[in-house]
Structure 1
Amino acid sequence: MRSYSDLPLDIIENIIGRLRLIDRIRIRGVCKDWSVLSCEIPSVDKYPWAMTSFWWYPYPYPYNDVIYVECKLSDPPVSKQYAVEGALRGKEFFGSAWPRASSYGWLLFEHNNFSSSVMFLYCPFTREVINLPELKKYIPGATFSLDATSPKCVIFTLGYSRGKKIRINICCPGDKSWKTFKFMSGFEKYNNPPVEAAYGNGIFYCVSTRGELGAFNVGLGEWTVLSNLKGVPSFEFDFVNLIASDGNLQLIGWRHTFSEENYLKILKFDFSEKHWVEERNLEDRVLFTGCTSFSCPALGVGEISELANHVLPCGDKAIRYGGSTSSSNSQHYHNWVETARNAKAWIEVPIRRLWTANDLINAALL
């Protein structure tokens, strides 16, 4: 009997191009050669999907050490849900876990057991889990790096110590321990801890509770404060989202109000002047905000064009922000809004290739 690997790759590309996206992704796991097929296989999916369900249920005695885990992904414009997980899992990791970040088909989860934090990477497309070393400290910010060009992955957490010290931990999949860096934060304001992190082009960025911006260069192991004191705006936000996209940094600040509408302000970092500048409109882009946030072009991009100049936060209603925006009554728009309301996290769909757990672990050894 001939192997699947004997099929000509041009035939496989034609077959994959006719499949639904979820099937395109999974079929690449059938044969190793298929995972490196041309990136030009047609696809219209240039936006993130939503993880709309992640639940765990205690399993009855005598299986007290396991729980039942359910995970669903949603393709927003068609409101199509995929049940990607429905199985028994170890209670030590999945019990009470919540997503901290997402990148190229993988999610970073944390499970806090009061004395320490257990973190793990989870891929809903392959249902694989990569356990990470335990951390004894509280983690106010966490994210990781991963993209289509390489399975090289670095997990980043940040915290703060007494005074103005910042504590950074990094590790790679397969590591047995974290590498810890401690720096004087360099922030001007006292007791100004970092609260949000984002990754872009070899740099982990983090913003403090007062808007001061710092950067950690992974390759050099160096910490730099990017904002100057004059550039720190009057921060009165309950929480923030930080987006690193196409060489730009955006900060979305939220404040709860007594009215139904939440206060929202969007800032962009000016690297030359080293300060934040308020953005009055999104220039026909759409922002997907959550544990990891995304900025995507929307104008003239098919099913996403109705979202131009919108912010879609996880678990909340869509917000129009500046620009020439108008509400829409289309079914596509309604599907997007409802998906956002139910979203637990936004996740980038690995269209080009699907990195497995072995890919991530082996890349760390190179």
Structure 2
Amino acid sequence: MMSGKRKKKSKSLSIKDNRRAAAEVKRDNLELQTWADLPAEVLELFLSRLDVGDNIRASAVCKRWCSVATSVRVVDQSPRLMYFPKIGNFYDFYDPMQRKTIPLSCQSWMDVVFAMQKMRRLDRDRIFSLFNPFTRDLITLPSFKRTYRNAAFSCAPTSTGCVILIFGRVGSSVLAISMCYPGAKEWTTVNYYAVLSCSIMCNKLIISNGLFYCLSHTGWLGVFDPLDCTWSVLEVPPPKCLVESSTSKNWSKEKFMIEHKGNIFVVHICCGEDPIIFKLDLTLMEWKEVRTLDGVTLFAGFLSSHSRTYVTGIMRNRVYFPKVRFYGKRCISFSLDDHRYYPTKQCRDLVEPNAFENLWIEPPKDFA
């Protein structure tokens, strides 16, 4: 009898030992597991919720994470470079990401242009309109009776709070700023006496954090607040090269101003040399030359500019200019990583007159 009890007790201990050993093995296996062992479904759910920057950083964990991160990554689409029609009733839209040109018929737009020109001849006023070449939507603004130099709008004209701004001048010392909005019946104009340090020859115009920034041909930066109608000149001395280039024959075509997430960049080009890029430091109130864009892509234009944080790898840390070569297959760009233009020896084309008429434009999300 005692022998049977011992056997049962021994068997019971054996089962417990086996369970304990299995638990220890399972615990050891869990301790050996890494983040790379997460199920694919969990990885996809986790990585798809990250913005593109964090997604790219997460892809460096391991090959498996890289594969999943790439599969759920959504990159920014680049703007299109719009060419005004030269022959026929088509605009050309160049896509730098796919390196191809897309023609778009503009016959209906041409009819509108002819009608507006006829109206202008009748009343001698300048007719302003906002036209979307993708949707063919047209917003007509009040007639404008002054001469002007630059115009811009704060956001999409279909958005509430859109402000259209026109810079002009009266005589040699007065800056005239005119405003209106879609649906307005007339323009509101306010005159400002120009500060001696800032020429009223407003050259470039961008929007940043609701403010209009205007770069003069001498490199000084003026700021207009449309909410309280105030105009001021930042006490930031311009870089020496911008001041020196103000006497150049092509001074208006050697500078670009681009906004990116509240930061203001100025790109200065000179034929045969690498472009110089400056970033405005509002804390120190000075322009700083930058050697890298930290992966940002700038699309510089004389009439409009854009920026992107996340585009395809080959396009990152570059500046794209408003000029296409090789039958619409290559857009002139400068790589800050390689310190060279692509295609090579094309920088001289940037100051051609027709390059001044091209502009970068934001396509609809579903545009193909």
Task: Give the TM-score normalised by the residue count of structure 1.
Answer: 0.62
AA aligned to 1:247 is: G
For each residue in 1:129-171, what CA deviation from the matched residue of structure 2 results, as whole angstroms up to 9, or x when unmatched? 1122233333222211225994432111112223432111111
Which residue of 252, 258, 273 corresponds with 2:267? Answer: 252
Task: Find out whether 1:214 has 2:222 as its counterpart.
Answer: yes
Task: Find out whether 1:173 has 2:182 as its counterpart.
Answer: yes
Q: In the superposition, relative to structure 1, how do residues 224 and 48 fare at CA in structure 2: closer, same or farther (>3 Å)?
A: same
Task: Find out whether 1:311 has 2:319 as its counterpart.
Answer: yes
Where do 1:107-118 residues align within 5 Å?
A: 117-118=126-127
2:155 is matched with 146
- 8 Å contact kept, 1:119–1:133: yes
2:359 is matched with 345
CA distance in 2: counterparts of 1:202 and 1:93, whole angstroms:
31
Where do 1:3-22 residues align within 5 Å?
A: none
Task: Find out whether 1:233 has 2:240 as its counterpart.
Answer: yes
For each residue in 1:29-71, what CA deviation from the matched residue of structure 2 results, as whole angstroms up to 9, or x when unmatched? xxxxxxxxxxxx99644321222453576xxxxxxxxxxx433
CA distance in 2: counterparts of 1:215 and 1:269, whole angstroms:
13
2:284 is matched with 273
Give the unaligned 5+ runs of structure 1. 1-40, 58-68, 98-110, 330-340, 354-366
SS in 2 for 1:314: strand
SS in 2 for 1:306: helix
Q: In the superposition, relative to structure 1, how do residues 121 and 309 fare at CA in structure 2: closer, same or farther (>3 Å)?
A: same
For each residue in 1:205-264, what CA deviation from the matched residue of structure 2 results, as whole angstroms up to 9, or x when unmatched? 101111111111111111121134x45534233222221220101112234x4xxx3663
SS in 2 for 1:153: coil
CA distance in 2: counterparts of 1:193 and 1:53, whole angstroms:
25
Q: In the superposition, relative to structure 1, how do residues 185 and 120 fare at CA in structure 2: closer, same or farther (>3 Å)?
A: same
Q: Percent identity?
A: 26
> Larger Cα Rg: Structure 1 or Structure 2?
2
Distance apart, 1:121 and its partner CA: 0.8
CA distance in 2: counterparts of 1:254 and 1:51, whole angstroms:
21
CA distance in 2: counterparts of 1:328 and 1:204, whole angstroms:
32
Task: Find out whether 1:75 has 2:87 as its counterpart.
Answer: no
Which residue of 310, 323, 333 corresponds with 2:337? Answer: 323
For each residue in 1:78-135, what CA deviation from the matched residue of structure 2 results, as whole angstroms up to 9, or x when unmatched? 34554443424465636999xxxxxxxxxxxxx999x654321111221111122233
Task: Find out whether 1:49 has 2:80 as its counterpart.
Answer: yes
Q: In the superposition, relative to structure 1, how do residues 130 and 250 fare at CA in structure 2: closer, same or farther (>3 Å)?
A: same
SS in 2 for 1:177: coil
Task: Find out whether 1:201 has 2:213 as its counterpart.
Answer: no
- 8 Å contact kept, 2:179–2:187: yes
AA aligned to 2:261 is: D
CA distance in 1: counterparts of 2:160 and 2:187, whole angstroms:
19
Question: Going by fraction, where is helix more abundant, 1 or 2?
Answer: 2
Q: CA RMSD in A?
A: 3.8
Give the unaligned 5+ runs of structure 2. 1-71, 246-250, 325-330, 344-354
Question: Going by fraction, where is strand more abundant, 1 or 2?
Answer: 1
AA aligned to 1:207 is: L
Higher relative contact order (CA 8 A, sep 6+): 1
AA aligned to 2:129 is: F
Deviates more, 1:152-161 or 1:343-352: 343-352
SS in 2 for 1:125: coil
CA distance in 1: counterparts of 2:81 and 2:116, whole angstroms:
20
CA distance in 2: counterparts of 1:342 and 1:246, whole angstroms:
25
- 8 Å contact kept, 1:93–1:118: no
Where do 1:93-108 residues align within 5 Å?
A: 93=113
CA distance in 1: counterparts of 2:153 and 2:161, whole angstroms:
10
Q: In the superposition, relative to structure 1, how do residues 86 and 212 fare at CA in structure 2: closer, same or farther (>3 Å)?
A: closer
What is the total number of aligned residue pairs between the two structures?
269
- 8 Å contact kept, 1:160–1:194: no
Task: Give the TM-score normalised by the residue count of structure 2.
Answer: 0.61
1:132 is matched with 141
